[in-house]
Structures are given as structure tokens and as C-alpha cells.
A and B are shown apart, each in its own frame.
Chain A
Amino acid sequence: MSRLNIELPGLKLKNPVMPASGCFGFGKEYSQFYDLSELGAIMIKAATAEPRFGNPTPRVAETSSGMLNAIGLQNPGMKKIIEQELPWLSQYDVPIIANVAGSTEEDYVKVAKEISIAPNVHALELNISCPNVKTGGIAFGTIPEVAKELTRKVKQVSEVPVYVKLSPNVTNIVEMAKAVEAGGADGITMINTLVGMRLDLRTGKPILANRTGGLSGPAVKPVAIRMIYEVSQAVSLPIIGMGGIQSAEDVIEFFYAGASAVAVGTANFVDPFICPTIINDLPELLEQLGYEHISECTGRSWKKHESPAYHRA
């Protein structure tokens, strides 16, 4: 019996590990390394209504145990994604979570409506938290009332469950989570990147052409854990957790904090095999820790619970 299968709104996952949006393109590159059907799901790169080039380069800068990126939601536009990328992905037995982005409410609604019809799209991830675009994106992710309203509008048109991706760049993330729950969200994904900056030693100026970028990688993991710990106790929505995951141990920690599934982002750039490696490592780790199923780990940090089966025996 599998220790790893998970059911979430719209999603029947063989395992709870999926690549995070923006870190996996539309899967083609990684399909050269392994069978994408091994993954729990795939969160594809953000789709906007029209094609976007994104920001000027440099777009990445390394930091201690992390990296800053300011790609700027470069993507070929929803039409090409629906007509080319999604049909290509349909050769794999893996549910797709489509990341939806925009500059205006109309944009989000338009993309959500169109992309949610695609047969292999099982859920949407509403991107209200990209820190690297001038308009929209993060603006929708920092004002609770705006986030709630956008969630409600997108829910009205989406054919599949809607997960809202929360930004950590807020004073009170619980308030944001409650707002999207009130707007009708089916789940939450968190966290997006933290806004940061690096300066060039020689010129004194920002390294990134966009000046600021989103911090990701192992450096942000404690922030993600703390935020999931808070949000999972305040709302009754399932959480797909992300932020610096690079091992099976990290996955368990995210579950303890309150996640029901996880996404791996930046680590894909370092080790293209990271997702299958983690999936492969999880059963043995669960065995060692005394869990029959990974779902027993969700919320252990705050739940009043019995000891795991191993300790009971």
C-alpha cells in the first residue's frame, strides 16, 4: 500500500511532491531526465492572457543558500500554452495545476476561464503574489479585500478547483488566507518568494536589472514553515507548501507545519532529479519515523494527537 497518495480538491495525487510553478517550465526540459508521470502533479509556469517577454537581464543573483530572481512572468501566453504545452503534457499520467497570472481582474478571469477547460488541468493556482511585475500580481496579494474579490470572480468562471498562492510579503498572512477562504478558494499554496535585493561590489548598484527580486531556496524555508504553521491553524483549506524544500526531511517538516502536499522549486535548478529523489526517499523516512501514511504528519506541530503507530506498538 502506498504511504504517499493524497487526495485534495480536484487532485488525486500518487504522491504529494510536485515541481513549483516557474521552476519547471512546461516540463519538457525535465522530461529529458525522468518520466514526468513519477510526479505527484506539475505546477506549470504562469500563464497570462497575452505573451510576455518579462524583465531585462540580469534576472538572477545568487545569495547565501538562496537566489533572487526577477524573471517577470515571461510566458508564451495562454493561447499557446493551451494549444501546445498542455497537449504535450497530456502524454504523461500526471495532473497539471495551471498557474494563472494577470495585471487586471479581467486578465485573471479570462485566463482562468480558458485554461481551466483543458482536460489535463485539474486545478488552478491563482498567482496573486509575483513580486516581479509592475502592475497586478502582488497588488492582488497584499490587500485582503482585493484578494477575496479576485478569488470570488475566478471561482465563478473556473471549471476546476482554485488554489490561491499567497505572498509572504505581507504583515499578516493569516488575514490574507482568511480572505481567500471567504472568497471561495479550494486550497492555498504558499509561499511565493520574499522580496530582496543584492548590490554589486564594484558598481554599488543592484545586480538585478529589475533592482529587486524574489528570494527562494533553502534560505526561505523557516519563513515558509512559520507561515504555514500559522495559516493551517486559522483556515480549513488544504495547503500545498513550498519554500526551499530540497530533501524528504524538509517535506516532513512542511507536513508537520500543516501542509498536505508540497512543491519543490529552486532545487530543480541545482539537481534536475530532485523531485524523483525526494519521492523515492519518503517511504523509508516515514517508516523510520513510524508513520503508516504521510497524511498522519499534517499539522503535527500544533495538533493534539496520538503518538504515531510506531510508538503505539
Chain B
Amino acid sequence: MIRYVLAFALSLTAASAQAEIDIQEITSPGGIDAWLVEEDSIPFVAIEIIFDGGASLDDPAKRGATNLMMALLEEGSGDLDARGFQEAREALAASYGFSAYDDSVSVSAVFLTENRDEAAALLRDALVDPRFDDDAIERVRAQVQSMLRSDAQDPNSIASATFDAAAFGDHPYGSSLDGTAETVAAITRDDLIAAHTNALVQGRVYVGAAGDISADELGVLIDDLIGDLPMEGPDLPDRVEFGLEGGTTVVPYDTPQSVALFGHEGIERDDENFFAAYLLNEILGGSGLESRLMHEVREKRGLTYGVYSYLVPKDLSTMYLGQVASGNATIAEAIEVVRAEWAKMASEGVTAQELDAAKTYLTGAYPLRFDGNAEIAGILVGMQAQDLPTEYIAGRNDLVNAVTLEEVNQMAAELLDPDGLHFVVVGQPEGLE
């Protein structure tokens, strides 16, 4: 769920007077809550639905079942087989996306106003009445197996898999939600039905919509879409401690450029000092302003095309991660610079000037994120999943601006742990073991 968390964390940063977003909080006739931004200048609507739970609900012996299940929702439902379903969708020019993450599964859809009812009815069947036909299962299973083979040879995927396994062991976070060749081969149709019942749970749903639809119309549409899903699901997994200590792990792989993934424990999203950490990271390794890492490793030394760090507050644990890639001959130097910058900021903190620049950037960037129906729907659903009120948008600028230099530097001392940083390096790095 790294990508989703990151996208959301960015969208939380701050508000500005320019973000004139009028959010309607609605409850459908059937009792489902949703947030809506009505905007009728373009005749379509974007809908984002998130169900808490996600691939962490997998049975370890059937790891990958939630992911395979989500991939099969577009492969036939109701009276339609896979091809029939897709022909119907194409005729409506609607688009549906189904994704699995560690902590959630998501459904994204866009419907034209002119055929919204038909497009919603088709999506409803995919969510509530998927067929899981045997031929579709085998076809998609083969696609997943092909992807797993590719990941096993991809330096970035190898680095993630190695890092996660070392950090989280047997917890679901310790393995890829795609599963392994063995567990994916073991998944049966019954397992997929169980994964569907477990993951698409009405009691764990969040809905956001933006575009050409009224509150009343949206209420009816949501009831149609998800009103027939089960109310409750199985217990969520326990929390897990980040279990990796400082050091370096080299995974030998014959490729010219070494890829390094590094990190240590992070900070909870609902920590009262989260914004201090967020500003701190923006200065150290964020992607908006030129970060210290980017300045030192790329601009000054030309050792990499990109180096970044990012907070990863997952539902059941936290990480503070970063990544850098450099030729096999220079990766050791790049890593040394990253460690030195980590240590320097931990001991010396940031300057008032850096903090001001980061605040200006984060507060100014916020309104620019509300730039399309799908983006707005995604922000709305993300805010609900984080239990934030609609007023959050208007007040967030002030919260960012209220963070003091002392708070950021205290956070730097507490959060940044140069000795605790663990680097997983995939390649043929010279001078590293």
C-alpha cells in the first residue's frame, strides 16, 4: 500500500484560501455514508470506494487470494462472462479499476452522465455477483504467475521483497500481496469466494464522488452498488513492530546499476506531531523542493538520477523509507552520503529558512491537488479513511504553519536514527558487503 499512502499523505499537507471545495456529506437511503463534490461542467462522475482490510486478510497458505480476487472482478458477473462483461463496459465507455493493497481494496469508476444507470448496474454486478469462472481464474492466475516471474528478476522488486521480509517476518506486511508461485497455484475458487466475502464489507467502506451527480442520485447509486454486500468481516490482523536493525544487506544480482532501498521505523499518521515529521522529510528527501539528499547525491556529485525519502504510516505499523540507485562502482559512495545526511539532520536539525520554504511549498501545493474529478474523489475517500472531518481542508494550512522550528528539530532528533538505517542493496556493489 506504499503508493496509496504516499499519494494520500501528500494530499493532506495543508489548505489555502484557494481551495474552494464544497463537500456534501450524505447518507444514502440504505444508511451508507459518502462525501460528494458536485461539479456539473463536464458530463461524467468519478467514484472512489475503499474497503478497509485488504490483502492482509489473506490466509498465509493462500497468499495472493485477495489480489487475484480483485483482478477477477472484471472477468464476468451475473449473466455475463468475461468477454460479455467487457463488451458491455466498452459499449458504455465506462471505466472501472479494482486494486488490492495491504490495508484495503479499492474500486475506482468513471461513468458518463448519459448512461450512468447502466454503467452503475454493470459495476454493481461485478462487486456483488462476480462469477469467478474457472477459465477466467486460470487465465488471470497465469498472468499473475508471469508477473511474479518478472518481479523475481527486477532489482526494485527484489529489494522490496528482501526489505519487507526482514522487517516484518511472518506478518502479512512481510510478504508481497501478490503471493508466491506456490501460494498462487494453491488458490481455489472457494478461496476466492471467501476472499470476496472478507474484503468487500459494507461496514468497512468509504465512498467519495466528484462530478456531475446530485446528492440524491448518489445516494441511490451507492445503495445499488454496495447495499447487498455483507455488513461485517473477519478481524483484522494484529499490529506488528518494525523488526529490522541497522546495517546493510547485499543481494547479488548481475546488473550495471545497484538499487538501494533503505529505512527504519517511522511515525503514526495520527501522531500529534505528524506534521513536524512531514515537514522534516520534505526537507531531507521530499520531491517538491530540492531536498538535502537530492542536492548532495545528485546535484553536487552526479551519483544518481534520483534519491528520495518518504514516510509510510501503514495501518498496522510504520516505516520511514528511502531509495537511491547508482552504478555498481559508485553506490557505496551514494549510500555513505545518505547516511551522513541522515546523521547531520538528526544532530543539527533544519534551518529556519529551510522550514519556511517547506511550509510555503506544502501550503501552496495543496489547492493544486484538487484538479480533476478522479483526484477529488480520491482525496475525499482518503480523508474519510483517516477519520478526518470535512472542515479539515480549511484548517490544515494553519496546522502546518503552526509547526515550530523547535518541534521539527526535536522530531529530527527522535525520528532520524542513522545507526538504525538498514540498506538493502541489489546489484554488484563495489565496496559493500
Q: Do A and B come from one complex?
A: no
Binding site for B on A (CB under 8 A): none
